[in-house]
A and B are shown apart, each in its own frame.
Chain A
Amino acid sequence: MQRHLISAADLTRDDAVLILDTAEEMARVADRPIKKLPTLRGRTVVNLFFEDSTRTRISFEAAEKRLSADVINFTAKGSSVSKGESLKDTAQTLEAMGVDAVVIRHGASGAPYRLATSGWIDAHVINAGDGTHQHPTQALLDAFTMRRRLVGPDAGLGKDLDGRRVTLVGDILHSRVARSNVDLLHTLGAEVTLVAPPTLLPVGVETWPCEVSYDLDSTLTKSDAVMLLRVQRERMNAAFFPTEREYSRRYGLDGDRMAKMPDHAIVMHPGPMVRGMEITAEVADSGRCTVVEQVTNGVSVRMAVLYLLLGGAEPAVAHARPTEEK
């Protein structure tokens, strides 16, 4: 493991499998009456959020607190940042208060990379989403969810996603989730297909380690997991597609389309969903949709990442599995 988690592309297969395995251990803690480990006691983690993102921040905060870290939440609104303070000064100020790790969400692609590599601070940096670049813990929680569902919580330990077929549908161009998933799923041996109207695919996508299709229906029958990405209604005004209804007809997942998927295949969404746009209520509320599980798994995966970056070599969960040890 590296010192920071900036991009899903930085993870080797073994790194990623280690994180997923550790996350399984963390998930078992959630089943205990007391959902807390002493692992990061005395360590301070700051959640440095320059963009509104309630769900990601809360997920990180829950993970940090379950590991007994001291947590500082910093949001740009109403802070010195809104008075013109630079990222560098903000980060140095926080570090001067004794922060061991910075979880950063920023609207500018590359901001976490700059923070980690410019000599501004020494703390560990974890990317919680930067611009349209990367969102590595989202990709990890997605991979974790796929492994649990498609391979099994115990059967999956030590394994990757070799040969699983994953389809990502929607606004690939503006999606850090898509970039992170393509990188990580490729590393884990999955076969990825991106489906979107050509306007929502980046120039240069042909060099990515995945297939690209403009046609959703033809890929559904060959998918073990279909991940829908949020499409912002504002994109319509920038001529990425003509109308919301046309987008929905061509690329939205409804019950009829879901029926074309193999029986074991799952439907995923990183949230927040736009019901009626990329996904119908019927699909969102079906048993094949993992959107709520993904949220749960997000906490376990983030605990695993924090532990592996900050916790060192000690076992993550002492006697977490007494039955297995005996």
Chain B
Amino acid sequence: MSKTLIRGAKVLGGEPQDVLIDGTTIAEVGSGLSAEGAEVVEADGKVLLPGLVDLHTHLREPGREDSETVLTGTRAAASGGYTNVFAMANTFPVADTAGVVEQVWRLGQESGYCDVQPIGAVTVGLEGAKLAELGAMHESAAGVTVFSDDGKCVHDAVIMRRALEYVKAFNGVVAQHAQEPRLTEGAQMNEGVVSAELGLGGWPAVAEESIIARDVLLAEHVGSRVHICHLSTAGSVEIVRWAKSRGIDVTAEVTPHHLLLTDELVRSYNPVYKVNPPLRTERDVLALREALADGTIDIVATDHAPHPHEDKDCEWAAAAMGMVGLETALSVVQETMVDTGLLDWAGVADRMSVKPAQIGQATGHGRPVSAGEPANLTLVDAAYRGQVDPAGFASRSRNTPYEGRELPGRVTHTWLRGKATLVDGKLT
């Protein structure tokens, strides 16, 4: 079995230590470890984290292989420091049967860059009308535990209630895309001062908040747990905070872009800023950061949403919603949370690896960096600063809102069960 010695890494941002990988597991963590028989990686003060886990990725395969495939998406994931991604169900065909989730799961196994855990649709065809065979997807080889109609809201209160109840039988969780559909007909951007001026259809905060309020109450009523996707408003934060204080079993995620960008950027009419839920206001951004720091929001999830160039190189209304995120997520979190003093690296490990692995029940991921644990690791050069260059992305798509923006931090190495998937910033 091959050995790798990571020398002088700040484990979770602490004092420099050596970490010895033997085969698929971490053999030893300490100082002055012997390099005998091991390949040495000089960490030189870089930060070592458990491999990142993304609970919200769109890999697009099957169906939209022009924007991403499981292979290109997992390569992008490894580039961004991820060792496990959860693939959303809004593919063509929709991942609403055991057959489709097994296909995605198998493609992930074959890629070798990153574990892929398929998410199953809650309702058939994401149509919100009839429950998909949740049990069959759970019992399939893919072992689905997270269910979501992401992209669409499970808007019918009865269907949502039944889904929350039904998945209790196998400890599943429903991840809700909170968007009241009637309040967001024709919505193009956050409803507020900027939308009024630009004449773009508004996506009001209340369309998100009203669904979250309903769903935490439903979860309480039926004694289920619920996960809220991409929380984007200050009001949503308040509702989740209240729900947690009541003991409701709710978890929530925030995307990197909602931690950094605001609707002021839409003034450019550049669809690279078009995303769902939309970019909100400065006040929302600050509330989201605060909530991620204090644990009201549990995790960062990318909502990595690749789109081909032509779907963004057009007028705003015609453009697709979404932005790629796997390869910039950690940098944005460093910029908004670490460099601002809101979160330390142990906190980053918690929000981007430990907690998402717990919510998604990803075994072998989000584990401590200590002897005997699976060697799923990410090495970050936190001292680096550089401009984002989409030409260097491993993703098949380039729809990033950060092109040309200077961001801190760069993932230099990623290990998936001891196997290096990224070395010196290059995919293996």
Contact = CB atoms under 8 A, between A and B. Distances in A.
Nearest to A203: B191
B315 A106 contact: yes
A30 interface: no
Given A86-B318, A204-B194, 8 more contacts: A86-B314, A109-B200, A109-B316, A110-B198, A110-B317, A133-B199, A202-B202, A203-B196
B44 interface: no
A108 B317 contact: yes
A176 interface: yes
Given A110-B315, A110-B316, A131-B317, A202 B195 contact: yes
B314 A87 contact: yes
A86 B196 contact: no
A110 B268 CA distance: 8
A283 B219 CA distance: 59
A133 B198 contact: yes
B170 interface: no
Interface string B391-420: 000000000000000000000000000000
Given A108-B318, A110-B316, A86 B310 contact: yes
A96 B91 CA distance: 39
Interface in B190-213: 191-200, 202, 204
A293 to B, nearest CB: 27
Contacts, number: 76
Given A110-B269, A114-B316, A203-B191, A176 B196 contact: no
B127 interface: no
A203 B192 contact: yes
Interface string A305-324: 00000000000000000000
B317 A109 contact: yes
A203 to B, nearest CB: 5
Contacts of A117: 268-269
Interface residues of B, number: 23
Contacts of B317: 107-111, 131
A230 to B, nearest CB: 16
A218 interface: no
Given A110-B315, A114-B315, A203-B204, A131 B199 contact: yes
Contacts of A205: 196
A94 to B, nearest CB: 16
26 contacts: A87-B314, A87-B318, A88-B313, A106-B315, A109-B198, A109-B269, A109-B316, A110-B199, A110-B269, A110-B316, A111-B316, A114-B314, A117-B269, A118-B313, A131-B199, A131-B317, A132-B199, A202-B195, A203-B195, A203-B202, A204-B194, A204-B195, A204-B197, A205-B196, A207-B193, A208-B197
Contact of A207 (B196, B199, B310): B196
Which 9 pairs, one residue from A and one from B, show the smallest C-beta to C-beta distance?
A: A133-B199, A110-B269, A204-B196, A132-B199, A108-B317, A202-B196, A204-B193, A109-B199, A111-B315
Max chain A Cβ within 10 angstroms of own Cβ: one of B188, B194, B268, B317:
B317
The residue among B191, B192, B196, B202 with the most chain A CB atoms within 10 A of its own CB is: B196
Contacts of B316: 108-111, 114
A208 to B, nearest CB: 7
A205 B197 CA distance: 8
Contacts of A110: 198-200, 269, 315-317
A86 B314 CA distance: 7
Question: How large, as a class, is the contact surface on chain A?
Answer: 20 to 34
A179 interface: yes
B315 A208 contact: no
Interface of B: 188, 191-200, 202, 204, 268-270, 310, 313-318
Contacts of B310: 86
Contacts of B315: 87, 106, 108, 110-111, 114
Interface in A166-210: 176, 179, 202-205, 207-208
A110 B195 CA distance: 11
A134 interface: yes
B196 A208 contact: yes
A165 B221 CA distance: 57
Given A108-B317, A108-B318, A114-B269, A176 B199 contact: yes
Contacts of B196: 202-205, 207-208
Interface string A118-133: 1000000000001111
Nearest to B195: A204
A9 to B, nearest CB: 8
Interface string A27-66: 0000000000000000000000000000000000000000
B401 to A, nearest CB: 16
A113 interface: yes
Nearest to A205: B196
A258 to B, nearest CB: 30
Contact of A204 (B192, B269, B270): B192
B199 A179 contact: yes
Contacts of A86: 310, 313-314, 318
Contacts of A109: 188, 198-200, 269, 316-317
A179 B197 contact: yes
